[in-house]
Amino acid sequence: MDIHSIAEPFDLQKLRRQIPLMSSHANGHPLVYFDNAATTQKPLELLESLNNYYQFHNANIHRGAHYLANLATEQFEDSRVAMAKWLNASEAAEIIFTSGTTESINLVAFSWGQQYLKPGDEIVLSTTEHHSNIVPWQMAAERSGAAIRVIPVDDNGIWDLTNLQTLITAKTKMVAVQHVSNALGTIQPIEQVIAAARAAGAHVLIDGAQAIGHFRVDVQALDCDFYAFSAHKMYGPTGLGVLYGKRSLLDAMPPYKGGGEMIKTVTFEKTTYNELPHKFEAGTPDIAGVIALHASLNFMQQTGIEAISTQEEVLRKKMQTTLQSIDGVELFGDVDNKVPIFSFVLDGIHPYDIGTLLDKQGVAVRTGHHCTEPLWSRLKVPGTVRASLALYNTEQEIDLFANALRKALTMLR
């Protein structure tokens, strides 16, 4: 059975009823939530799972020899197994639970960096990276004496790979790039970059924060060494993330945090570390969140990841034509090869003004630099309005958004 899809026929209204926040209001209007790239809304299954855990199963895991502790541990580890299957990892031990994409990347930059980076080595990033896939590497470079090199973009923010061969070389030890741009929605040509990294003998980390909720991700087919993402962008809880890593690398890497859970034996003279994945999970983890993430996976599985992609493609196309029909809209990024994230500016109007007037009409978008300052300084744009859609958004909401945007424009022009 395909684990990504035990889908029933797609029923949007039924699906919306499963997401309680879809029926709420903002500033006296029905909420139009177009800020899904920041975080997705949560299905009832997730909320019930969180509640169930605290009400009926709450116990610390991996330590107590009692009924509840065993139950919680089992559910926690079941979630890890489900995630491994979802990503097509070779084994559950390759799934490390973290506090989010940010921590996943920091873990690799610190621990992998300590093991593998030396002066003169190079780390390759791209211009479109989120700050969380830049700063940890700058810190690692500082610690090790390695240098950072950057994949450039064209005037539209699209990766320019013409000089990839001179960028990724024998000096390159790590290529850390995003799967999908949070600022533009572009699905990046990571296959090509991974192949170049493989040819050069470099390791690869993919920041999958904006991919994981939109389409099927198969870490073995991608052949990346690490894949990082956050649960809250895939209909899951906040403050929880995943780091997938190949066992051979994770085994070779030193622990990143010290504490309980991650040890085998501790004496004041010497501590020996636990096996994977516990070696990287010091302290009591977000047990409720990990268990609830399994419910989010079930939600995505029941909807079907292909159905999610197909439905979002309908929304993307409609949003694209809608935005193009509005006078003065300038869109950034790839036109077709993208998830439904739209970054735009309107001639001479500040994004903050648009965001404020949309908000007054119940439409939630994000404005600003979206934590990708290097991209916007390259494009010479201080910031944009970003509308990001998800599975449960409707074509009617796109019309409401367009009307609200037109009204804002008549007020501002």
Ligand X SMILES: Cc1ncc(COP(=O)(O)O)c(C=O)c1O
Site string for other proteins, 333-362 (x = CB under 8 A): ----------------xxxxx-xxx--x--
Q: Are 360 and 212 in contact (CB under 8 A)?
A: no
Q: Is 132 in the site for other proteins (CB under 8 A)?
A: no
412 in contact with other proteins (CB under 8 A): yes
Among 75, 101, 111, 311, binds ligand X (CB under 6 A): 101
Is 14 or 413 the residue whose CB approaches other proteins more closely?
Answer: 413
311/367 with CB nearer other proteins? 367
Q: Which of 135, 331, 371, 381 is catalytic?
A: 371
Cβ nearer to other proteins, comparing 324 with 356:
356
Contacts with other proteins in 39-58 (CB under 8 A)?
none
Cβ(345)–Cβ(381) under 8 Å? yes
Note if the bond before 351 is cis, omega within 30 degrees: no
State the Cα–Cα distance between residues 191 and 204, nearest whole angstrom. 11
Nearest to 369 by CA among 215, 184, 224, 150: 184
Q: How many residues bind other proteins (CB under 8 A)?
A: 17
- Residue given tokens 């780390």 in the structure block: 123
CB of 353 to other proteins, least distance (A): 5
| Shortest reach from residue 368's CB to other proteins, in Å | 6
Binding residue for other proteins, selected from 41, 75, 111, 367, defined by CB under 8 A: 367
Total residues binding ligand X (CB under 6 A): 12
98 lies in the binding site for ligand X (CB under 6 A): no
Residue-wise DSSP of 124-190: EEETT--GGGTHHHHHHHHHHT-EEEEE-B-TTS-B--TTHHHHS-TTEEEEEEESB-TTT-BB--H
Closest-CA residue to 179 (of 362, 319, 338): 338
- Find the shortest distance in angstroms from Cβ 151 to other proteins: 26
Give yes or no: 224 in active site.
no
Q: Please, which residues have CB within 8 angstroms of residue 87's CB and are 6 or more apart in sequence?
A: 95, 217, 218, 219, 227, 244
Between 178 and 301, name the residue whose CB sits nearer to ligand X.
178
315/131 Cα distance (integer angstroms): 28
> Interface with ligand X by CB under 6 A: which residues?
100-102, 130, 132-133, 178, 182, 207, 209-210, 230
User: Known catalytic residues?
Assistant: 371
